[in-house]
């Protein structure tokens, strides 16, 4: 075991995903910070006892540190974010690392499973569509055989094409979500569960735009392109334009629930396609802001819970006879984190009972 080198990427991703410094890790392992730095560069050995102590600190199963292969794509266009400009770099760094960890967890969870869907993801070259994200959005809608009109459940749609959606609390509302291709070619949508459904839908459509259009570098601003894609994908001009003619503030709640876009999103979309004039748009934005809706909009949309991850978990537990502990360990997580973040629920109660046997037997009442 001493001779088995740990994966430097795994150590770095694990450490950053918990927001720990190299010094924290060095202290826990009882080695120098210099050595940890070396190990993360792939130039230093670390014995199993040290790895076990680091695993304890970072709360990941030790075998995770030996997982081969790259866990992080440096400088690659595979990772996209939708965030506010004021998000501190430190917070973003931690959440990036968490996404790389989720990517690994998902890869392990779906290892050996086939995702059968009615659709598939496409990478479309913007240039072939005249550089128009709107045309790309129309092409994808056609390829996915979507009827005209609003998309009722975008999460379900993305899952039907093999996209994996994971929602968890990011601990900050300044990052809505991000996406990345997994090594199995299934995109992962990693979303902030504390963001309202309307914002999450826009985020998913925006990320879908990145995944579809930006597999190869394209000219122009990718963020603007992703938003233009999202607008057309969620609310195609042909129908939407008609609905927002003579748009007034009191029509926004109904339009929000019909198109499943935020009220602000309705205004922005109407403005973007010039269905309303600039003066009307400014007036509506001001009304929206004066009502305090920038902080929180009323009339929340029904949530769109992901089902694919849950189905994979159920399959392992029911058909493959995994215990919750075994499954969590197989995806390199402790059981509490696995259930909380992947399923949004506490572990089943018998999981807690089993975990007692790992400790000195308590006196039972
Ligand atoms: Zn983006």
Are 136 and 285 part of one and the same domain?
yes
Tens of pLDDT along 184-203?
678 899 999 999 999 999 99
Q: Coil, strand or helix: which one is 162?
A: coil
Residue 170 lies in a domain: yes
Model confidence pLDDT, tens digit, residues 135-187: 999 999 999 999 989 999 999 999 999 999 999 999 888 889 988 887 667 88
* CB neighbour list of residue 348: distance below 8 Å, 6 or more residues apart: 324, 339
pLDDT of residue 173: 87
* Burial of residue 167 (number of CB atoms within 10 Å: 0-12, 13-18, 19+): buried
CA distance 42 to 10: 11
Asked, for residue 2, whether it belongs to a domain, the answer is no
**231 Cα: distance to centroid of ligand 1 (angstroms):** 13
Q: How does pLDDT run across 67-105, given as a tens digit for each residue? A: 988 887 654 445 677 777 788 888 888 998 998 999 899
Q: Give the residue from 9, 185, 204, 7 showing the smallest Cα distance to 110.
A: 185
Residue 2: pLDDT band (50, 70, 90) is: very low
Query: Residue 354 pLDDT > 70, yes or no?
Result: no
Centre of ligand 1 to C-alpha 250, Å, is 31
CA of 206 to the centre of ligand 1 (A): 6
How remote is the CA of residue 223 from the centroid of ligand 1, in Å? 5
**Ligand 1 centroid distance, CA of 327 (Å):** 33
Written as six digits, the tokens of 350 are 């018998």
324 CA distance to ligand 1 middle (Å): 35
169 and 240 within one domain: yes
110 and 21 part of one domain: no
Domain that holds residue 55: 8-66
Residues 20 and 111 in one domain: no
The 8-class DSSP code of residue 327 comes to H
- The answer to whether residues 236 and 112 belong to one domain is yes
CA of 211 to the centre of ligand 1 (A): 10
Q: How far apart are CA 224 and CA 227, in angstroms?
A: 5
pLDDT band at 111 (very low <50, low <70, confident <90, very high): confident
Please tell me the distance between residue 227's alpha carbon and the centre of ligand 1 in angstroms: 8
59 and 204 part of one domain: no
Same-domain check for residues 114 and 41: no
Residue 209 Cα to ligand 1 middle (Å): 8
Number of domains in the chain: 2
Average pLDDT of the residues in 333-354: 76
241 with 107, same domain: the answer is yes
What CATH number has the domain bearing residue 15?
Answer: 1.10.260.40
- Give me the pLDDT at residue 352, please: 47
Give pLDDT tens digits for 12-43.
999 999 999 999 999 999 999 999 999 999 88
DSSP letters of 181-217?
E-TTS-EEEEEETTS-HHHHHHHHHHHHHHHHHTTS-
pLDDT at 287: 97
Ligand 1 centroid from CA 213, angstroms: 11
pTM to 2 decimal places: 0.89
- Note whether 334 and 61 are within 8 A (CB): yes
- Domain check: are 49 and 110 in the same one? no
- Ligand 1: distance of its center to the CA of 41 in Å? 30
């Amino acid at each position: 075991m001493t001779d088995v080198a740990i994966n430097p990427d795994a150590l770095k991703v694990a450490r950053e995903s918990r927001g720990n410094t190299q010094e924290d890790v060095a202290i826990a392992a009882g080695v120098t910070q210099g050595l940890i730095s070396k190990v993360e560069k792939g130039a230093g050995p670390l014995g199993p006892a040290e790895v076990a102590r680091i695993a304890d600190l970072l709360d990941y199963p030790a075998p995770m540190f030996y997982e081969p292969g790259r866990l992080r794509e440096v400088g690659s266009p595979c990772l996209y974010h939708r965030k506010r400009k004021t998000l501190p770099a430190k917070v973003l760094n931690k959440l990036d690392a968490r996404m790389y960890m989720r990517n690994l967890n998902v890869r392990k969870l779906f290892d050996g499973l086939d995702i059968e869907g009615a659709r598939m993801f496409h990478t479309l070259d913007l240039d072939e569509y005249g550089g128009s994200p709107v045309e790309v959005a129309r092409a994808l809608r056609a390829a996915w055989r979507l009827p005209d009109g609003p998309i009722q459940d975008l999460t379900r749609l993305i899952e039907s094409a093999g996209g994996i959606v994971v929602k968890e609390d990011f601990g900050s509302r300044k990052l809505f979500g991000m996406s990345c291709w997994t090594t199995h070619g299934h995109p992962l949508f990693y979303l902030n569960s504390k963001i309202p459904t309307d914002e999450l839908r826009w985020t998913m459509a925006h990320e879908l735009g990145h995944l579809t259009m930006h597999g190869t570098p394209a000219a122009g601003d990718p963020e603007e392109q992703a938003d233009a894609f999202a607008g057309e994908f969620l609310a195609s001009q042909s129908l939407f334009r008609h609905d927002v003619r003579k748009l007034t503030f009191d029509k926004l709640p109904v339009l929000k629930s019909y198109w499943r876009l935020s009220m602000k999103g309705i205004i922005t979309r109407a403005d973007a396609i010039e269905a309303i004039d600039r003066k009307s748009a400014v007036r509506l934005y001001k009304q929206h802001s004066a009502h305090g809706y920038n902080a929180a909009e009323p009339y929340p949309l029904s949530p769109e819970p992901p089902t694919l991850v849950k189905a994979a978990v159920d399959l392992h537990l029911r058909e493959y006879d995994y215990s919750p502990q075994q499954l969590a360990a197989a995806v390199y997580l402790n059981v509490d984190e696995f259930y909380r973040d992947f399923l949004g629920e506490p572990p089943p109660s018998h999981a807690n009972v089993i975990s007692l046997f790992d400790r000195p037997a308590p006196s039972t009442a």
